[in-house]
Amino acid sequence: MRERAISAAVLVPVLLIVLAIGGPAIALAIALITVVAAIEVFRLQHAAGDESFPALGVVLAVTIVLDAAFPDVLDGSGLLLFSIGVLLVAVAAMTREDPRAGLAAWIATVFGALYVSLLAFVIRLGNAAPAIPAGAPFEPLGAERGWILLLILAVWSFDTGAFLVGRQFGRTRFITHISPAKTVEGVAGGVIASTAVVALLLWGLGQAPAHALLLGPLAALAAQAGDLAESMLKRAAG
């Protein structure tokens, strides 16, 4: 819990500043996080015995993020840029003397880039966020900030709820080969916490809180799946 408190003390002020600025600051922050995440993922892949082309993977991941950040500038060219990137990685893979090693490196590089570039969803959510009705409590935030805040707090509340409930009441463990500490009770607590927070934020955004009965569990289960995916990478890397 101490580590979580320290992380929050460092990250929350940065998050609030980025959200307050909005627009380009959010895109820049996601791009920087993507670079750091890509470096870490390719390091883990290497430790797990899966060779790749980290530099090309980082560039490919950032390209996908830039496509989300500047949709009007690229105007649908994101898929083309990604396709070119995949082919460039293929060319690099052809330099490996063993075709099996080249194929594995090609797959590992594209996977790593795609995996971390899922962060681009944060930018896409901000760009496509529904308008906040006049008079809603969170209207001053604006749609971009409000909906991104909902996404972040939905994930944080699940993580915190799962940790606290699992620590106190967790008995039934699952997927222990990937994450030994996970419990069914913890997941249930996280889902309830996420649903409650999403309901509150939907109300603030001028939406029907009842929609949280669907959006809350979906966000919570997506957060759990993401957490397990990270754990699988870490376990594979030892």
Q: Please compute Rg for the chain using Cα positions.
A: 20
pLDDT at 226 over 80: yes
CB atoms inside a 10 Å sphere around CB 200: 16
What is the identity of the amino acid at 61?
A
Q: Where are the alpha helices (DSSP H) in 22-98?
A: 24-47, 54-69, 71-74, 78-93
Residues 6+ apart with CB under 8 A from 26: 18, 19, 122, 123, 126, 144, 148
pLDDT per residue as tens digits for the range 88-115: 999 999 999 999 999 999 999 999 999 9
pLDDT per residue as tens digits for the range 146-190: 999 999 999 999 999 999 999 999 889 988 899 888 999 999 999
pLDDT at 72 over 90: no
Per-residue pLDDT band for 139 (boundaries 50, 70, 90) equals: very high
pLDDT at 76 over 70: no
Q: For residue 78, which of 93, 91, 60 has the smallest C-alpha distance?
A: 60
Computed over every residue of the chain, the mean pLDDT equals: 92
Q: What pLDDT sits at residue 203? A: 97
CA 72 to chain centre: 23
pLDDT at 221 over 90: yes
Q: Is 183 exposed, middle or buried (0-12, 13-18, 19+ CB in 10 A)?
A: buried
Structure pTM? 0.88
Q: What pLDDT sits at residue 218? A: 97
pLDDT at 208 over 80: yes
Per-residue pLDDT band for 20 (boundaries 50, 70, 90) equals: confident
DSSP symbol at 140? G
- Please give the angle made by the CA atoms of 88, 90 and 91, to the nearest 5 degrees: 65
pLDDT at 74 over 70: no
Residue 126 tokens, joined = 């901000």
Q: What pLDDT sits at residue 75? A: 63
pLDDT per residue as tens digits for the range 26-43: 999 999 999 999 999 999
Q: Could you tell me where the beta strands, DSSP code E, fall in the chain?
A: none
The percent of residues in the chain predicted with pLDDT above 90, rounded, is 74
- Contact of 153 with 197, CB cutoff 8 Å: yes
